Amino acid sequence: MPSSAFHVVEQTPFKLVITSPPYYSQGIIFLVVAIWAAASGFLVPRGMHQWPRYAAFAVALPMLVASLVILTSRAEIVLSRETGKLAFGRSVLGMTREHAEVRLEEIRRVAVQAGGRGTQRLIAVLDGGQEVPLSAFTSQAGKDSSAAAINEFLQELSQPK
């Protein structure tokens, strides 16, 4: 099973791409529960009351939708020297849900911010002190190494050639 941790997928002097893949294990668990519930609905004999069949399908459908959402959700952070911007966005079911951009020259650094219950998120600290969230609060690993890669990219950008 692929890793669900934040990781660098492309790193060149001109571009840095970091992705936060889906929670594969959680999505697969929801999918298995959906299949199990649907299968149990088909096992209800035809002569009996049909409410257990409907109840099984009522459980299976939301579980199937949840598994599809979980298995297709991802976030991506792209830093580009060409555009001079940091672009970040989230997509679900292949559709972009959120997208925003920050000019690289406005970013002082990127840090990992702690949240509740052991969750963290990446934030960009701008020159004026404002904090721009680059990811949602998650328990996914890899945020520290991603922040370090972004800060290294920003540092190289500010050095004269």
- Mean of pLDDT values over 142-160: 90
Q: Beta strand pairing status for 7-11 and 15-20?
A: antiparallel
Which is higher by pLDDT, 131 or 3? 131
- E runs forming strands in the chain: 7-11, 15-20, 74-80, 85-92, 95-103, 107-114, 120-126, 131-133
Cβ–Cβ under 8 Å, residues 50 and 56: no
| Predicted TM-score (pTM) of this structure | 0.82
118: left (phi over 0), alpha (psi -120 to 50) or beta: left
Cβ–Cβ under 8 Å, residues 43 and 76: no
State percent of the chain over pLDDT 70.
98
- pLDDT tens string 65-103: 999 999 999 999 999 999 999 999 999 998 888 889 999
- Mean of pLDDT values over 35-44: 90
Query: 161 pLDDT exceeds 60?
Result: no
* Mean pLDDT (the chain, rounded): 92
End-to-end CA gap in the chain: 42
